[in-house]
Structure 1
Amino acid sequence: MKKYSQGFKLKIVQEYLKGKMGYILLAKKYGIPSPTPIRYWVRAYKAFGEEGLQRKRKHKEYPVQFKLDILNFMKQTGASYLETAIRFNMNHPGLIASWKSKFLKEGMDGLLEKARWRPSMSKKLKTTEKKQEKQCHVRSS
């Protein structure tokens, strides 16, 4: 998925809000493959202002209970991912879709935060051993 700058999003949202073009025409005008992102940007802008158009740079961890509350809200109300995100003051409906998918596949375990990938100790040791071997080989030559 292509990432768009906040300024670009704001320009399109403002153009949409002027009322001269709809989602489809704006998508065609700016070469966006689908009008869906524009629809999201407009709703996020209406709900959160310019902050709603910012890309989140920091990974935020949500508690399992929060995720369950969101999924339960969607089930009970029939709200869309976007409506749910706005209701819970989130700016990433795709994250909710991901939680739902994981929950359906893995149950509660799917909602737990997985440890981020880190090199294993054995890999670190092998790298260190190789460096030491090279240093020894250079010294002995």
Structure 2
Amino acid sequence: MAKYSDSFKLKIVKEYLEGPMGYRLLAKKYNVPDKAQIRIWVNAYKAFGEDGLRKKRSKTVYPVQFKLDVLNFIRQTGTSYKDTAIEFKLRNPSLIANWMRTFLIEGIEGLKEKPKGRAPMSGKRKTKQSKQEKAMSREEQLERENELLRLENAYLKKLKAFQENPNAYLEKHKQRWHSNSKKKGSN
């Protein structure tokens, strides 16, 4: 479907409202494939003025309570989707029809906003790691456990040394850092 500029839409709508030409003749004159499109523009202009013809730049997310209010209004008054859209200042009457269809099939849960996009892959990564652990032989598992215990032991020794004399520990590591940085620098 072709995209039309706001000025083009306004020109056609004004020509329809001022002149004797109908939807079909205007569609033929301006090469608009469907006369229904011009009818939609005219109705939007009548309801909202020039704002009704402008393209929306972002998607509006409506709360569930608002959707329920709209659907209850239709049930109580028996108005059409078009009249209901005008009443609630919605540009697109088919949006209400979609809400009604979803509500009848799924209930209130269907009206809630659903997350978009692909699900995170965090669950898949965990399963791969657990499969690798299962695939390791008993000897490999013991070697892995041994390595983890060595790391834990080294960490605890450093922690104890730091707690006994923090200044000496920091001075020792500070000197190491400076000696390494002198070697790497280009003088």
Unaligned runs of 5+ in 2: 126-187
The equivalent of 1:132 in structure 2 is none
The equivalent of 2:8 in structure 1 is 8
- Aligned-partner residue type, residue 85 of structure 1: A
The equivalent of 2:162 in structure 1 is none
The equivalent of 2:148 in structure 1 is none
Aligned to 2:21, the other structure's residue is in SS state coil
Q: Give yes or no for the alignment of 1:83 onto 2:87.
A: no
TM-score (structure 1 length as normaliser): 0.77
Contact 1:40–1:82 (8 Å) recurs in 2: no
Aligned to 2:89, the other structure's residue is in SS state coil
State which structure, 1 or 2, has the greater radius of gyration over its C-alpha atoms: 2
The equivalent of 1:94 in structure 2 is 94
The equivalent of 2:42 in structure 1 is 42
- Aligned-partner residue type, residue 105 of structure 2: K
Q: How many residues align?
A: 124
Deviations 1:84-110 (A, max 9, x none): 111101112221122112112211111
Higher-RCO chain (CA-CA 8 Å, sequence separation at least 6): 1
CA RMSD of aligned residues (A): 2.0
Deviations 1:25-82 (A, max 9, x none): 1122222232222122112112211111011121111111111111121222232222
The equivalent of 1:68 in structure 2 is 68
Distance (whole Å) between structure 2 residues aligned to residue 80 and residue 45 of structure 1:
18
1:112 Cα offset (Å) = 0.5
TM-score (structure 2 length as normaliser): 0.59
Superposition misfits of 4+ residues, deviation over 4 angstroms: none
Distance (whole Å) between structure 2 residues aligned to residue 107 and residue 35 of structure 1:
35
Moved more, 71-80 or 85-94: 71-80
Unaligned runs of 5+ in 1: 126-141
Change (3 A) 1:2 1:120: farther
Contact 1:81–1:96 (8 Å) recurs in 2: yes
More helix by percentage: 2
Moved more, 72-81 or 87-96: 72-81
